[in-house]
Chain A
Amino acid sequence: MTVSGCFTALVSGLLFGLGLAVSHMVDPAKVLGFLDIAGNWDPSLAFVMGGALLVTVVAFPQVLGRGKPLQAASFVAPVKSAVDRRLVAGAATFGIGWGLVGLCPGPAIASLAFLRLESVVFLVAMVGGVALSKAFPGQPGGEVHRADA
Chain B
Amino acid sequence: MENFTPLSALIGGIMIGISASVLLLATGRVAGISGIVGGLVPPVRSDALWRLLFLGGLVVGVLAWRAIRPGDVVLTFDASFPVIALGGLLVGLGTRIGGGCTSGHGICGIGRRSLRSLVATVTFMVAAGATVFAVRHVVGT
Contact = CB atoms under 8 A, between A and B. Distances in A.
Contacts of A27: 73-76
Contact of B59 (A59, A69, A94, A109): A109
Interface in A1-55: 1, 4-30, 32-33, 35-55
**How big is the B interface, by class?**
35 or more
Contacts of A46: 9
Contacts of A83: 115-116, 119
14 contacts: A6-B50, A12-B57, A14-B60, A21-B12, A47-B13, A56-B17, A63-B24, A71-B26, A78-B30, A89-B94, A99-B131, A104-B34, A110-B58, A133-B96
A133 B123 contact: no
Given A27-B73, A30-B3, A59-B111, A52 B96 contact: no
A16 B103 CA distance: 10
Interface in B1-45: 1-6, 8-31, 33-35, 37-39, 41
A89 B120 CA distance: 9
B77 to A, nearest CB: 5
A83 B114 CA distance: 10
Interface of A: 1, 4-30, 32-33, 35-57, 59-61, 63-64, 66, 68-78, 80-83, 86-106, 108-114, 116, 118, 121-134, 136, 139-141, 145, 147, 149
Contact of B38 (A18, A56, A141): A141
A139 B96 contact: yes
B28 A17 contact: no
Nearest to A35: B132
Give the secondary structure class of A's interface. helix
Nearest to A81: B116
A80 B109 CA distance: 12
B16 A16 contact: yes
A143 B51 CA distance: 15
Contacts of B92: 97, 125-133
Nearest to B16: A19
A95 B123 contact: yes
A41 B11 CA distance: 20
Given A42-B2, A56-B17, A113 B88 contact: no
